[in-house]
Amino acid sequence: MALNILCCVKRVPMTGGRIVLTADEQAIETRHLGFTISPHEECGVEEAVRLIEANGGSSTVLALGPAEAEEQLRDCMALGIDRAIHLVAGDEFDGQATARAIVEAIEAERAAGTEYDIVFFGNESADAGGFQVGIRVAHALGRPCVTGVKAVALEDGGLRLEQEVPGGRDVYRVTLPAVVTVKEGLNLPRYPSVPGRLRAKKKPLEARTPERGSQGVEKVRLVVPADEGSQTEVLGRGPEAAPAVVELLERIGVAG
């Protein structure tokens, strides 16, 4: 059964050890940073590529973000995604506006004859952590939505999905078309190959410019949380520090 799959990914900075904000406190200072997508979304991309390899069909990746987000779209295509949709937006959109723009793109695709059987999202975006875009898109499209998924299997023309919950895994069975939000651990994503990177440069990328509209969660400013200012006590250097470590473990009562 050939499948048509869409994956939604968001370009975010790789922040490293410390977050520095721009002077206007509206964004992370990214001058010295690289960019990536959430590990959850990487697993969505990998799952899409595997499903298409096994069943045939076509995969598409979509990102709403600045012109530079083309980098993340090409990265996904280097891993085996067939084509990309770039919703070009300078400013960040809130969850409602993001979902609106993605739904418009999916409807335009449908009008052009492409119907997605599965739409993969991350469970939450790395930066905003809104926990909502996938669910909002599912409602707008009238499709079932399962979140936090760590196992995907095609079964009787539908999907069997596992969601991690405290103490076990809950199993869902849904018919297609469906929306699935996934978590890291679903699979171990592959690395891009050199031929994959070369092919990605030539794969089709369509751009559109969505309306941002009003923001229901309107960012005022970002704040780096005050760190607790812990003084670090250096117990020693090298293996000679072992007795001091044991003393510490005994003092706090965990030495066994």
Partner 1 sequence: MSSVLVLVEHDGAAADDLSRQAATLARGYAEAAGVGLEAILIGPGAADAAAGLGELGVAKAHVAEHDGLSQFAPQAWGRTIAGLAGRLAPAAVVGPGSERAAEVMAHAAAIADLPFAANCISAAPGDPAAVTRVRWGGSLLEEARLHGATKLLTVAAHAVEATPAAAPAQTEVAAFTPELADADLAARVVERAQTDTGGGISLADAKVVVSGGRGAGSAEGFAAIEELAGLLGGAVGCSRAVTIAGWRPHTDQVGQTGTKIAPEIYIPCGISGATQHMAGCKGAKRILAINTDPDAPMIANADYAVIGDLHEVVPAIVAALKARGG
Tell the smallest beta-carbon distance from residue 143 to partner 1 (Å).
Answer: 8
Minimum CB–partner distance for residue 99 and partner 1 (Å): 8
Which of positions 123-182 make contact with ligand FAD (CB under 6 A)?
126
Q: Does 148 bind ligand AMP (CB under 6 A)?
A: no
The minimum distance between CB 164 and ligand AMP, in angstroms, equals: 17
Q: From CA 104, how far away is CA 136, in angstroms rounded?
A: 12
Q: What are phi and psi of 74, to 5 degrees?
A: -65, -40
Pick the stretch among 120-128, 166-174, 237-245, 246-254 that binds ligand AMP (CB under 6 A): 120-128
Residue 54: CB minimum distance to partner 1, A: 21
How far is residue 234 CA from its own chain's centroid? 38
Given 129, 185, 204, 236, the residue binding ligand AMP (CB under 6 A): 129
Query: Helix axis angle, 133-141 relative to 95-111, nearest 10°?
Result: 40
Rounded CA gap, 7 and 4, in Å?
10
Contact indicator for 35, 12 with CB cutoff of 8 Å: yes
Binding flag, residue 128, ligand AMP (CB under 6 A): yes
Residues in the chain: 256
Interaction partner, residue 18 (partner 1, ligand FAD, ligand AMP, none; CB < 5-8 Å by kind):
partner 1
Which contiguous run of DSSP H or E holds residue 99?
helix 95-111
Output the CA angle 149-188-13, nearest 5 degrees.
Answer: 85
The interface partner of residue 41, options being ligand AMP, partner 1, ligand FAD, none and the CB cut-off 5 to 8 Å by kind, is ligand AMP
Query: Which one-letter amino acid corresponds to residue 82?
Result: D
x/- mask, partner 1, residues 91-120, rule CB under 8 A, reads: ---xxx--x---------------------
CB 180 within 8 A of CB 59: no
Q: Does 122 bind ligand AMP (CB under 6 A)?
A: yes
> Which tokens in the block code for residue 7?
């994956």
* CB-based burial, 78-87: b 16+ in 10 Å, e otherwise: bbbbbbbbbb
By CB under 6 A, the residues from 20 to 79 that bind ligand FAD are: 36, 38-39
Q: Quick one: what does residue 36 bind among ligand AMP, partner 1, ligand FAD, none, with the CB cut-off 5 to 8 Å set by partner type?
A: ligand FAD
- Closer residue to partner 1 (CB): 113 or 166: 166
Which residues of this protein are in contact with ligand FAD, per CB under 6 A? 14, 36, 38-39, 126
